[in-house]
């Protein structure tokens, strides 16, 4: 199984739906305003620390990636500082 590219950062949990479900949620005016029939049409996914979240709706995905709540495993980690010895 291939290693997921985008994973949930430590200390975070997300609950979201796919792009089609996201449109239903937005059309209703948010999750709290969804009708029972809307809720039946939408499936939510919960992901926790270290789990793949590459299928998150783009709007939330971009915001969470910018904030560091999602980790891009293809990005090189920051190099450790190297101290030079004085001659």
pLDDT tens-digit series, residues 3-59: 779 999 999 999 999 888 999 999 999 999 999 999 999 999 999 999 999 999 888
Q: Which domain holds residue 57?
A: 6-72
**58 belongs to a structural domain:** yes
**83 belongs to a structural domain:** no
**84 belongs to a structural domain:** no
**82 belongs to a structural domain:** no
Cα-based torsion angle of the residue sequence 2, 64, 60, 73 in order, rounded to the nearest 10 degrees: -10
CA distances in angstroms from 75 to 7, 65, 79, listed in the order given: 12, 12, 12
pLDDT of residue 77 exceeding 90, the answer is no
pLDDT of residue 82 exceeding 70, the answer is no
Q: Which residues pair with 70 in a beta bridge?
A: 8
List Cβ neighbours of 84 (8 Å cut-off, separation of 6 or more).
none
Domain count, the chain: 1
- Predicted confidence at residue 51, as pLDDT, reads 95
Q: Global pTM?
A: 0.72
């Amino acid at each position: 199984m291939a290693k997921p590219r985008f994973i949930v950062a430590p200390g975070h949990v997300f609950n979201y739906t796919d792009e089609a479900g996201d449109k239903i949620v937005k059309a209703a005016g948010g999750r709290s305003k969804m009708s029972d029939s809307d809720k039946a049409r939408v499936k939510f996914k919960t992901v926790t620390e270290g789990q793949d979240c590459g299928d998150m709706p783009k709007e939330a995905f971009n915001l969470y990636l910018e904030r560091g709540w999602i980790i891009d495993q293809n990005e090189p980690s920051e190099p450790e500082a190297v101290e030079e010895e004085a001659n």
